[in-house]
Structure 1
Amino acid sequence: MRRTVVTTLVVALAAGAVGAALMPRVPHLGGQVSGDPDLAGAVRSAVPDPKGHRGLAVALIENGRIRTAGLGDRDTAGRPVETGTAFEIGSVTKALTGMLLADQVAAGVVRPDDRLGGTWPTVTGPARDVTLAELSSHRAGLPRLAPGSPLGWARIVWSNVSGGNPYAGQGVDGVRSAADRVSPGDGRGEVHYSNLGPSVLGQALAAKAGVAYPDLLEARLLRPLGMTATVVATGPDDLPPDRAHGTRAGGRPLDPWLGAGYAPAGVGPWSTAEDLARLVAATLAGTAPGADAASARFREDDDTRIGYGWFTTRHGDREVVWHNGATSGFRSYVGFERATGRGVVVLGNTDRGVEAIGLRLLGAPEEEAGSATPMAPVWIGVGLAVAFTFLGGLSLFGTARRRELDRVTLLAAAVWAFAYLGLGHRLGDWSVVPAWLWPLGAALSAAAVTLAATRWQALPAVDARVPWRRLLSVASSLFAAALAVAAAIA
């Protein structure tokens, strides 16, 4: 027994040392600066914690004057963020799609109360009766995403675990088909955030114009505003050169999101702080095509109203018009205050929120700014980090101490001990959870494996009345563990 304890401690210490070398490396906002140094200094003062940020591109608009700055690194190689570095902008695109609607209304092409079916006649399902205004303001009663098959949902889950593109292969026909399959729910007329609704709207406006959505956006909004660095990447060849690379706040690199179908909602668009600053300045001045989209028309709650894509929220005594974006490895925030003539653009290349930075630059009270960043994803990442890091080792300890045990069961538990460890490394938010916890989890798993090894020789291969059932159960468990390991190392 004494030898076993000593051996277990030695193995645990060795595994902890190896784990310390392999533990998650959390990005920090680097010291590199480009553009306006005063603005860069203000941004650093507005960042509550540089941990979890890798790079930021920022623009500040004050009474028509635009200042820009880049801070930190645009990729893991340490290349600096510049003021013209392109970032994924995600759902900020919904505001652009809302501006397309307002532009087409002003041009007499459509009306806000036009039905979807009249604008996009190939949509024949119940959703054909929702209006364009409802689609742009998340009031159409459509679900957040299109309903999918079990295989489709499995692919989305796998993409989220492996860091891939969950929207891969979802083209315009897929969005149209989804519009045919859904029915407006009981929440129609109320604001319920949806990615499907703005996607359907953008594709409907493009179909009405007889062009693809990226071409309509280019012709009606981007080109008139001189936003030459803004692109919609529907495939790898469309990705901007020298772009920022996205990672999780815990440091894991992630694939860009590409696809034509959900482009109007934010899958595929890339832009720069400079380009989006042109958009904000022109919208504040009322000269941007579709600038009227930013006018609040419908109420979400006591503090927030919505226009065509743009939200308007009170922060203390300030009223800010805004939209944010969140893709896999990028965060964005665009906002402006009409009363002061001030606007802001903040783009980041990790999944750490940037809303608080933008609001602080606009002058919002610190407590108001801090509450603007969604917290649910952070706590999910914290839970995954802690649970997965220790769950496998603790479970193996419990299995190894069972009286009735066989080798196949013990083997499956040992594999899962390290599979969980890998998932914790990849999926946990180590910008919040201390990274040194992961080596402790590695030491725990190694100690549990050592204890299991001491029982191996005395155990039967299969201890069950129906051996094939036990083997099938263990085989399926090992297959799932193999998938988890593959996702962790992808």
Structure 2
Amino acid sequence: MRRTTVIALVVALIAGLVGVALMPRVPRLGAHTTGDPNLAAATRSVTPDPSGHRGLAVALFEDGRIRTAGLGDRDLAGRPVEPGTPFEIGSITKALTGMLLADQVAAGVVDPDDRLGATWPQVTGPASDSTLAELASHRAGLPRLAPTSVLGWARILWANVSGGNPYAGQGVDTIRSAANRVSPDDGRGEVHYSNLGPSVLGHALAAKAGVPYPELLHARLLRPLGMTATVIVTRDDDLPAGRAQGSRASGRPLDPWMGAGYAPAGAGPWSTVEDLGTLLAVILAGTAPGADATTARFRENDDTRIGYGWFTTRYGDREVVWHNGATSGFRSYLGFERATGRAVVVLGNTDRGVEPIGLRLLGLPETEAGEAAPVTPVWIGAGLALAFTFLGGLSLLGTARRRELDRVTLLAAAVWAFAYLGLAHRMGDWSVVPAWLWPLGAGLSAAGVALAATRWRALPVVDARVPWRRLLSVASSVVAAVLAVTAVAG
């Protein structure tokens, strides 16, 4: 027993040391600076905690001039962010879709009170009664996402676990089918944020124009403004060169989002602070196509109103017109004040929010700018990190010490021990949990393997009254563990 304990401790120590080299690395805003040095310095001064940010691109418009800067790294290789580096901009595209509506209204093509069914005749279900203005302002009573099957939800869950693209394979037909199946809920007329509503709107406007949504956006908005770096990506081959790489604030790299169906709501758009800075400058000048979309029309709450995709929020005696974006590995923010004529763009390549940075650059005090709300509650990411790091090792140690045991049971426990470690590494929020805990978990799992190895020869292959049932149970467990390993390794 003493010899076994010594072996387990030595193996645990070695595994822990190896784990130090492999433990999660939380990104920090790097030292690289490009573009305007004063703007870069100002951005660093309003980003007191660089942990969780890898790179930022910023544009500031004031006194009739646009300044741009890049800070930190655009990818894991450490290449610097530049003002022309493309970032995923996510839901900022909802604001562009709102501008498309305002542009088409100004051109006399549609009316904001037109019904969806009249604009997109292929939509004949209950949602066809929604107006274009309701779709643009999240007041159509539509769900956040299109209803899907059990397999569809499983695919989305798998994408979230593996860091993949949850919108893959969801085309325009997906949105049209959803619009035909869903019924507006009792919240119609009230602001309830939706990805489905703006997607339906974008494709309805495109159907009216007889071209796909990306072509309509390019023809009516991007090309007139010279926004040549702003693109809607629907295939891997079309991803922009020199783009930033997205990741979680805990360091896990993530795949880009793309899907033609949800493109008008934020799946697939890429842009730069140079392009988006130009957009805000011409909106403030009143010369942008569809600039009227930024006019606040409907009340969300005491402090916030919404136009066609654009929100207007009051901070004390100041009003900021804005929209933000969030994909799995990027965050974005646009904001401007009509009273001061100042506008800001902030793009980041992790899932740590950038809204407070933008508000501080607009001149709002820290008490008003607040802190970025996490995508999920902090306790969830911290809990996943702690539980998965130690659960597998503790379970394996407990299994290896059983009196009645067989090899298949022990093998399943060993596979799960390392599957849990992988899940902890990829899914835990290591920006709030000390990363050095992960090597301790690796050592614990390795100690369990060492203890299991000392008993292996003396164990039967299967020790159960009904061997096939035991084998089936363990086999299903091993398959699940392999799937988990595949997910975290992807």
Distance 1:450 1:199 in 2: 54
1:106 match? 106
Report 1:189-228 matches (<5 A): 189-228=189-228
CA contact (8 A) 1:316 1:364 kept: no
CA contact (8 A) 1:316 1:365 kept: no
Q: Is it true that 1:76 corresponds to 2:79 in the alignment?
A: no
Report 1:395-474 matches (<5 A): 395-474=395-474
Distance 2:125 2:434 in 1: 50
Between 296-305 and 436-445, report the one with greater CA deviation: 296-305
Between 476-485 and 303-312, report the one with greater CA deviation: 303-312
Report 1:86-485 matches (<5 A): 86-374=86-374, 376=376, 378-485=378-485
Distance 2:454 2:259 in 1: 52
CA contact (8 A) 2:352 2:372 kept: no
Between 227-236 and 248-257, report the one with greater CA deviation: 248-257
2:22 match? 22
Find the residue that maps to 2:30 and give its secondary structure.
coil
What is the aligned-residue identity percentage?
82
The superposition leaves residues 156-179 of structure 1 with CA deviations (integer Å, 9 ceiling, x where unpaired) of 122222222111111111111111
CA contact (8 A) 1:60 1:342 kept: yes
Q: RMSD value over aligned CA atoms?
A: 1.6
Between 199-208 and 110-119, report the one with greater CA deviation: 110-119
Find the residue that maps to 1:353 and give its secondary structure.
coil
Q: Compute the displacement of 1:189 (Å).
A: 1.7
Find the residue that maps to 2:183 and give its secondary structure.
coil
2:37 match? 37
Amino acid at match of 2:451: L
CA gap of 1:434–1:399, structure 2 versus 1, over 3 A, is same
Q: Compute the displacement of 1:379 (Å).
A: 4.0
Q: Compute the displacement of 1:419 (Å).
A: 0.1
Q: Compute the displacement of 1:57 (Å).
A: 0.6
The superposition leaves residues 402-446 of structure 1 with CA deviations (integer Å, 9 ceiling, x where unpaired) of 444332222211111100101111122222322111101101111
CA contact (8 A) 2:245 2:253 kept: yes
Find the residue that maps to 1:376 and give its secondary structure.
coil
CA contact (8 A) 1:59 1:277 kept: yes
Q: Compute the displacement of 1:454 (Å).
A: 3.6
Find the residue that maps to 1:218 and give its secondary structure.
helix
Distance 1:8 1:372 in 2: 44
The superposition leaves residues 295-354 of structure 1 with CA deviations (integer Å, 9 ceiling, x where unpaired) of 122222222221111111223333211111111211111111222211110001111111
Amino acid at match of 1:34: T
Between 105-114 and 373-382, report the one with greater CA deviation: 373-382
CA contact (8 A) 1:315 1:365 kept: no
CA contact (8 A) 1:355 1:373 kept: no
Distance 2:403 2:395 in 1: 15
Amino acid at match of 1:37: P
CA contact (8 A) 2:124 2:180 kept: yes
Find the residue that maps to 2:57 and give its secondary structure.
strand
Report the TM-score when normalising by structure 2.
0.96
Distance 2:438 2:410 in 1: 23
Distance 2:460 2:377 in 1: 44
Distance 1:143 1:186 in 2: 11
The superposition leaves residues 341-383 of structure 1 with CA deviations (integer Å, 9 ceiling, x where unpaired) of 1111000111111111111111222133233434525443322
Distance 1:53 1:96 in 2: 26
Q: Compute the displacement of 1:50 (Å).
A: 1.2
CA contact (8 A) 1:388 1:424 kept: yes
CA gap of 1:315–1:443, structure 2 versus 1, over 3 A, is farther
Report the TM-score when normalising by structure 1.
0.96
Find the residue that maps to 1:328 and give its secondary structure.
coil
CA contact (8 A) 1:86 1:240 kept: yes
Q: Compute the displacement of 1:105 (Å).
A: 1.2
CA contact (8 A) 1:97 1:309 kept: yes
CA contact (8 A) 1:209 1:216 kept: yes
